[in-house]
Structure 1
Amino acid sequence: MSHTPPATTPPWWKRWWRRLPPSRQDRFATLGPLLAVLLFLAAIVVAIAYLRFEEIDREREAVTRDVEYAQQRLRLRLLERQEQLMRLAREIDNQALDTEEFAFQAETLVSQFPELLAITWVDSRRRVLSGYTSPSAPVALMRSVGSSLSPSETDGSFDLARDLRQPIYSRPLADNDPRSARLMLHVPLSEQGRFAGTVMGEYSVDGLMRFGMPPEIMARYAVALLDDSGTVLAGSLQTAEPVLSFLPWSTPSLEHEVPVSPVGNGLILKAQGYRTSQDIVGSGFVGVIGALSALTVWMLIGTWRHTRRRVQAQQALVAETNFRRAMENSMLTGMRALDMQGRITYVNPAFCSMTGWTEAELVGRTAPFPYWPEEDHELLHARLEDELNGRSTPGGFEVRVRRRNGTVFDARMYVSPLIDPKGHQTGWMTSMTDITEPKRIREELSASYERFTTVLESLDSAVSVAPLGSEELLFANKMYRLWFGTRGQGHRHLVDLAGNQPQPSMDDADPVDAFAGMPTGTLTDAGVENAEVFVQELDRWLEVRTRYLTWVDGRLAQMVIASDITPRRAAEEQAARQTERAQTASRLITMGEMASSVAHELNQPLTAISNYCTGIISRLQEQRISPEEMLVALDKTARQAQRAGQIIQRIRAFVKRSEPNPTLSDVAQMVNNAIELADIELRRQQVRLTPYVAARLPALMVDPILIEQVLINLLKNAGESIVQAGRPLGERLVELRVAPRQLDGEGVVEFEVRDSGKGVPDEMIERIYEAFYSTKSEGMGIGLKLCRSIVESHHGRMRMENLYNGTEVTGCCFSFWIPVAPRLQPQGSSDTAANEPLTDTERAR
């Protein structure tokens, strides 16, 4: 019995290879040799780099070992000198040395060891007792006996030796040239347990380098002594980097540094290996291998690119064919081709979709075609004859087309000859577009235009549009034609009156368009500009609004809308006159209410004048007065008369009716004038007024009489509120505060009146500014209304708030502020200000 061996499954990589298309298989087959060459080159480079890194590691170990050996030699030399100085210190401590013997031994040591510059005996007060300095030492080290060392000379090492009682090395010290740096060693001295000074030895850093460094180290390396900031103090270092240092076989800079003990991190020994020549043989070997590998890679890439171009050409041909077919199928315009006899040879899917017939049902058909409406056969036959004979209009023609389901739509057809690659005409190509929706939109736009024109014609305002710098009138409604006729002079006249006509530049003027180069985008984006003008020809006040726009033909135009505001201007003037009369009446009422207080205030100077005059007459009759005494009495009488006159002049100025006159006014003077009048009534009511006026307040562009009226009204109301609240005399207080502030980034001056009355009930707060509404039984209700109108006419604001102590109302605060910026112009100051339209609050004034 035979057995069929089971089918074995090929490995995964074979299955993956078989699933790839031939083009991908060719690409992977080409990449195999390329990858092998690159791997071979990488292996050579890695091997050379590994061997080079091994060599560099050995060289670095040698540098480290030699530098540490040199550091030990320097350390031993420093320790030997330190031991000799400590021996001198012990002899001084044992009083075995005097200053002369110390100088002799110091001279012996300095002469024997060239790195020593000086040895000095310094007492606890830094005075030099004895010492010796090498003749080759700098002049700054030549210290005389009895001189003192400054703290900067020892760099704090003297203090450390005193505190720690052990030898201390200083940081390397250099005056100007780092090459003249020196070290200090302070060995402390003690006398019966107390610090008695130091034996100070000074080393030349350059001498340590020259006499303490082993010659074999100096021959093999560039050696230098550095401070903690890296400054070279002795020796020299290499600075240039090796050429091609980034290559693995290049020679890197070999260096090593260690701190010199026992000095510490303040003195560092650094050595650099002298650079040898580049490995020319190794570099050349690697270069040859790289060049051969690059050549092989270039040949493989060339073969791969040639194969890829062939594949790309095939793919481009297929893609072009598919693209043209997709473009024809995705077009929304129907395409139909006819031969020279009028037979359909081609239709695209859009044409079939429009008509409802398939390509098979249309190709090969002759007239009459199935998509022709029966009632239009004669017309369409004539159109076809014109098309076949080349008499079609370039702009196309409009026809009706019937769908397969019987519905009819409007279409527009364009005809062009069909030329083959040899230049011969083989038929006619017709494109068809469904214009049913555009035609409907065009009809709706026409109806909308008619409605729009009807609305504009029925407006009570004159509307006109004209190009800039031209008297041509692009549009004018019925009201414009009624006022100004059918020409553009009226439009130009309104623009000139409103002052909104831009002036063309006279430099390099364009002979065609004087406004060429103007920023039309900025003009059309700008908002509407308003102006109120008086037209003498019509005897009317008109509100003129202008706006720049781009006309339908692309020209920059200006639209003007003029509305008749003559009745409104008359009403505003009447309201302004009524407001002015109300302000004068309010001041008269205020003075009437304060009449008794003013009379009492005037009675005092008049009584004083009468008394002075009676006394003078009596003493003159008795001849008991000297000329000097008479002059004093007459001077006092004159001052009282002046005081009475000032009160009367202030009252007359306050109640005098005059036109509003904003001027630059001093705030302190306005406040003082208001206090003089208001304080009369407050003193009668036994209310104490406390003013707080800030220094150096800016001048305000206001009408001072109107601002004084507001302040007097608020102060009088505050006093009446305190009296109505029945406050005891000690609590009858009114505060007037005037100070500058910043409000929304704008500088203002705030006026604040605080009283200790009973405040304003919550239900009345919303109505206190209403006309003829008052919280007082005898009030007329126009005071606060006028106050707020006056403040707002000066571009300010007024507010009110109750003052609380817990839940109890302890008073009321009225405040208003006036902007510092001179928004109001003085009367007659400029013609521009007189022509500017007034705001509502300014008209109220």
Structure 2
Amino acid sequence: MLHRLQPLIQPQLQRLTRPHALAWLGLALLTAVAVGGAGHWAERRELQTKTAELHQAAEVYSLALRGVAERYDYLPYAAARHPEVLALLAQPDLPERRQQVNRYFEDLRGRTDSAALYVMDLNGQAVAASNWATPSSFVGQSYRQRPYFEQASQGVRNTFYGVGLTTGAPGLFIAEPVRQQGVVKGVVAVKVGLDELSQAWAKVAAPVLLQDSRGIVFLSSEPDWLYRSSRPLSPEDLAWLARHEQYGPPQTQTYPALPWRLERAADQAEYRLHTRQGGSQGGRQRELLALDTPLPELGWTLTVSTDLAEVALARRQALALAALGAAVLLLAALGWQQRERRFAEQRQARQELELRVQERTRDLQLAHAFRKAMEDSLLVGMRARNREGRIIYVNPALCEMVGYRADELLGCLPPYPYWHPDELDRHQRDSEAALQGRAAPQGFESRIRHRDGHDVITMVYTAPLIDEQGQHLGWMSSVVDITAQRQAEQRQREQALQLQRSARLASLGEMASTLAHELNQPLMALSNFALAAQALARQGPPELLQSALGDIVAQARRAGEIVQRVRGLIRPQGGQHQACDLAQVVERVQGLLQAELAAAPLRLDRAALTALPPVRGDRLLLEQLLINLLQNALQATEHLPAARRAIELSAQVQGELMELCVADHGPGISAGLREQVFNPFFSTKADGLGLGLNICRTLVEAHGGQLGVRERSDGQPGAVFFFTLPLMHPPRVPSLEHAST
């Protein structure tokens, strides 16, 4: 393959060794850059001019549209307040009043050059109109389904563009409610034709169009775009259009999509519009620069455009002029160089001949060295095969990758000596696919066997091998060694497994800390009750000793239940949820903390915990949760005066949940620490373990609720810890206890 490329590479190497050739190459590149820059500059300049003209045209067209609407804006307002109109709506059956209003509207239409002016009663029937004497008179016609009548009859002045129900001619309708003593008695409407505007638009070179709020084109300089939609219409939109017949009977309008293809830039209001103008079959393809201008007071969108053909023409002209100038300069420079070279050749003809021989020899040596260095420097293995699969070229990188010399590989047909013996079928399929031109362009992974026996993982990419005459000689493959990458991926997977084991050990340590924290309360109680039992054994009534021993047994059972519940927190089926009365749970907790509450002393207000529905939860875990929260509140208020040592318990139902609040009057918790206090081993107390609130959150989340802290709502200092629990409903599925059995 390389000896075929040598005739193409050698002349380039010869030129690159000549300083003058390098100078000419640099000059040619600079000339090409200058010519391209001139074309780009001309294109951008023309595009900026077109953009400025587009914005100016949008302003002019917008002013014209607003001028048409404002020109007739006063007409319905004035007519709605005319005494004769008010009198007609009060007595619509009097012919003389109807005739007076007909003639008044006829005279008003002639003076203002509007299309039509008419008044409707509250049933939508026209009782007088400016065209009363014409065959297409509005008098007696019903316009109840028209949107402008519906809104105006409700007291809202509005505008509406549509095709007339009576005349079939489109126009802009401006409707005004007729009020008498603040009550709507009828509707006055003026119809304004946009024929002059449409005729003016028909003469412009680039398309101009108007769309309504649904994207339907109702006025356009391009007739083929009328009543087409720029976006798909929903069934609700189509039903609304059919019901109100805005653009004619529903059987005559289908609102097909506009023949557009848009290219928008995120930071530009203008966009490129590709369309076929003059009909979808026989028209010509055009590329336009378009701009949308909203007209919110009318509910329309104005689209103006300009042809980009002039931009392309400006670029071509600039390129032609720049190329012509560059050609003149290059020809002049070339003539000057040829003249100087001819003089030099005449003086040094003999020396030039010797230099040419030396340069020829040096160029051949350089080409050979270049080819050899290129082959030796490649880290990617290269392999060329003819169309039959015979190896015709390998580079040193491939030989090093497979362990075979080039002379051992050249001329080999499949199966090749480096194919892995365990994957011969796969190698054969991949080879046949590559020789038939079906190799995956993204490459495929292949495991081969090195000559010394170790495996090599590679990625193989194959492309056609074409000679200088365009003939298909075979296939060239690049082979990349990815063994190290695969080994790194394996190490990464092993490290991930190690991290998972470390995480499990950390979870085990946290569970041990949780058990130590939670068992502290019943163990302290066991110790106190045991000391009391010893004292009662020496002296005291037997019934008190029996009570103390009973408390010891109860606390021992409580410690065992805590261990079981903590185990349940890490097992999905470990919960023992049942219906719990929060008032009874609080009463039980108050009894367990009676000594601490009396020693404080501290008042526990639980008057708000009455007539509450039961919640679903584990009674023992809920008791432990409240004990932790109340002990935190006790510690937060221990330095307060006796009058302020109080804890309020309250609850309220929120949908399917109940929220219970524990409020104290302590120093409170700053906003920056309200989330950190729930982290394991974080504590604001010098001797605290930082596990209490973390355990509380775990207990609440095990019940399907949430735990948080906030400020008091009454503005006093203190903190409010709140948590939610699900309400207990009649069971619709088997309980967890039944399911576990």
TM-score by length of structure 2 reads: 0.30
Structure 1 or 2, whichever has the larger Rg, is: 1
Give the structure-1-normalised TM-score: 0.27
- Which structure exhibits the higher relative contact order, with contacts defined as CA atoms closer than 8 Å and separated by 6 or more residues? 2
